[in-house]
Amino acid sequence: MPESDYAHRVHDISELSDPRLDDYLRLSEAALRMRSDIENGIYIAESTMVVQRAISMGHVPRSFLLARKYLPQLEAEFARFPEVPIFVGEDAQLQALTGFHLHRGALAAMERPAGLDLDTVLENSIRIAILEDIADHSNLGALLRSAAGLGVDAVLITPQCVDPLYRRSVRVSMGTALTIDWVRLESWPGDLQRVREHGFRILALELTENATELGALQPQPGEKIAMILGNEGRGVRAETLTMVDECVIIPMAREVASLNVAAASAVAFWQLCR
């Protein structure tokens, strides 16, 4: 596709104060972005690979923002969305706008996809992970990557959990935040009852005294299992622990107190999803 085909909608950001650029302001302020992105119904796809992956999943861009030299890499996506504006700028201008150095090619402001229906997801899943109050976007991304790569069917995240679509989560997840089925719960731990009604055996991965060793669990074929992983600092909430069927521990050596939550998830998913 020659640049002349889309040149008419390439806007130099030095020449405008376009309100559509507001979608890209203060991208490095995670807490602020999480609130405003959810309110505005958008998320930011970062890097040409993530933009391409998002569009291949059926997500819809509102605008593109990139350094001019990256234009050829996204020509197929520009052609697919002929009405969507393309903003270009020098590195320093892009940094001034977004608040960080844009070294992964491109950004796109994407329409946030509609949430999935919890009952449908629970109906169609055998293994699910429930991520309780995960506070760190890198951990959340790594958890989603483990879940996708090790065969978890779907992920539920609690209302206090950080945003799976924040750009660092998506990046660390290697794009699996866009491909694995996930649902943000509205009530926690209240929604655990709905998980139970769908026939799940509910396990909390947690370092409690009465916990069963992970290696001793023998899931029955077709048994529906939900695995809860807790907050990085506090672990699984005490109230949640009163509602689960069983606590499960990965035995630790050399007096190491615990694993990073994403590392723990990979061990548990490997053991319970094979």
Ligand X SMILES: C[S@@+](CC[C@H](N)C(=O)[O-])C[C@H]1O[C@@H](n2cnc3c(N)ncnc32)[C@H](O)[C@@H]1O
- Give the footprint of ligand X on this chain (CB under 6 A): 205-207, 229-230, 232-233, 235-236, 249-250, 252, 257-259, 261, 264
Peptide bond into 189 cis (omega under 30): yes
Nearer to ligand X among residue 106 and residue 227 (C-beta): 227
Angle between helices 261-273 and 137-149 (to 10 degrees): 10
Which of residues 23 and 133 has its CB atom nearest to ligand X in the complex? 133
Closer to ligand X by CB, 84 or 205: give it. 205
Residue nearest to ligand X (CB): 230
Min CB(118)–ligand X separation in Å = 21
Give, in order, the Cα–Cα distances in Å from 145 to each of 59, 141, 150, 175, 205.
Answer: 19, 6, 8, 8, 18
How is 183-249 classified by DSSP, letter by letter? EE-SSTTTTHHHHHHTT-EEEEE---TTPEEGGG--PPTT--EEEEE-BTTTBS-HHHHTTSSEEEE
Residue 171 Cβ vs ligand X, minimum distance, rounded to whole Å: 22
Distance from chain centroid for Cα 45:
11
What's the min distance (Å) between Cβ of 269 and ligand X? Answer: 12
In the complex, minimum distance from the CB of residue 124 to ligand X, in angstroms, rounded to a whole number: 25
DSSP state of 4: G
Closest CB 186 distance from ligand X, rounded Å: 22
Nearer to ligand X, 129 or 165 (CB): 129
Which phi-psi region, left, alpha or beta, contains residue 109 (left: φ > 0; alpha: ψ -120 to 50)?
A: beta
Tell me whether residue 189 or residue 235 sits nearer to ligand X (CB atom).
235
